[in-house]
Amino acid sequence: MVMWRAAATLSLSLLVTGCWPAPRESSPPQPLPAQPQAQVPFNPTRAAAPHAVRTTTHDLQGGWEKTGRIDTPELRHRVADQFPQIVFYRSPRNVKQAALTFDDGPDVTYTTRILDILRREGIHATFFIVGQRAQAHPEMVRRIIAEGHAVGNHSWDHPNFTKLSIAEIRSELIRTNDLLRSLVGYTPDLFRPPYGELTPALVQTIGGMGFKIIDWSVDTRDWAGTPVPTIMNYVRKEITPGGIILEHCAGGRGERLDNTVEALPGIISYLRNQGYSFVTIPQLLHVSAKMEGS
């Protein structure tokens, strides 16, 4: 009882003297702690090079050439030799001609620079066009044709054809050719498979649609980021009369092809000094660039 009275007396005294502790002001609401963002595992094959440029509106469906390609020229040429009327990797004639070919375009970065060099040198080449990219840059396709180059089909969005059904393969080719016909005025009958993947079954399917399949005999390996001196060494080592030279005029998103552009004048100069002239694929093989009836 005595303790209760003492506590009551103290409370009354504090109330009278105004010394009762003031109620605490309510603290402003604190923001919720930030949720940690999911960490994406680093993948060096997809990391863009420093200062990489956007080479195209759309990426390659099957990935960069250097990550999607299995480089097996012996197997490809063996398949070509089984179907000599459909698949070509060089001219059968022993003449000092060479065909420059450029895959994966168009874009507005590297395709433009390559076209500028070819125009300056007075050379006509062959461009294997990705349909989705042609749709994004139709003016580049028109420039290619206006400057005397040949075009071929390189699929709609650059998948690996060995992983597609026959219906999907047909769709890739027909869709691209429909677009190219609207841009260039005819239906191309030249085709190069993405990543160079070629099997007897693919040849039968694609050849059955009326296409000529164009492989190559000289691989500059520009798709692997090869230094310019090494690109030149590949050309010197692999070129023979009637050779078809593989290069690229666009890459995967963020992929750089500056070495391709830098090496091109040297390739032209070297081959000219060796007595070569430059022709398109239809000129090299003495074939039409158009589907029958187009």
pLDDT in tens, the chain (294 residues): 434 344 444 443 433 344 444 444 444 444 444 443 333 333 333 333 333 344 445 665 555 455 556 667 778 888 889 999 999 999 988 899 999 999 999 999 999 999 999 999 999 999 999 999 999 999 999 999 999 999 999 999 999 999 999 999 999 999 999 999 999 999 999 999 999 989 999 999 999 999 999 999 999 999 889 999 999 999 999 999 999 999 999 988 778 999 999 999 999 999 999 999 999 999 999 999 999 877
Q: Which of 103, 104, 107, 157 is catalytic?
A: 103
- Torsion sign (Cα): 213, 219, 221, 227: negative
pLDDT of residue 100: 99
Give the number of C-alpha atoms closer than 13 A to the C-alpha of residue 219, restricted to the C-beta side.
18
Catalytic residue list contains 286: no
Catalytic residue list contains 77: no
pLDDT of residue 127: 99
Residue with tokens 């005595």: 2
Q: Are strands 218-219 and 87-88 parallel, antiparallel or unpaired?
A: unpaired
Q: What is the CATH number of domain 65-285?
A: 3.20.20.370
Nearest one of 196, 228, 225, 236 to 80, comparing CA atoms: 196
**How far is Cα 12 from Cα 24, in angstroms, rounded to an integer?**
21
Cβ atoms within 10 Å, residue 105: 30
What are the extents of the domains in the chain? 65-285
**How far is Cα 278 from Cα 122, in angstroms, rounded to an integer?**
9
**How far is Cα 43 from Cα 54, in angstroms, rounded to an integer?**
19
Q: Is the overall model pTM greater than 0.85, yes or no?
A: no
Give DSSP secondary structure letters for the chain.
Answer: -HHHHHHHHHHHHHHHHT-SPPPPPPPPPPPPPPPPPPPPPP-TTTPPPTT-----SS--TT--HHHH----HHHHHHHHHH-TTTEESB-SS--SEEEEEEEEE--SSHHHHHHHHHHHHT---EEEE-HHHHHH-HHHHHHHHHTT-EEEE--SS---GGGS-HHHHHHHHHHHHHHHHHHHSS-B-EE--GGG---HHHHHHHHTTTPEEE--SEE--GGGT--HHHHHHHHHHH--TTEEEEEES--STT---HHHHHHHHHHHHHHHHTT-EE--HHHHHT--SB-TT-
Count, residues in the chain? 294
Nearest one of 67, 102, 118, 110 to 245, comparing CA atoms: 102
Q: Which of 137, 149, 158, 248 is catalytic?
A: 248
pLDDT of residue 187: 97
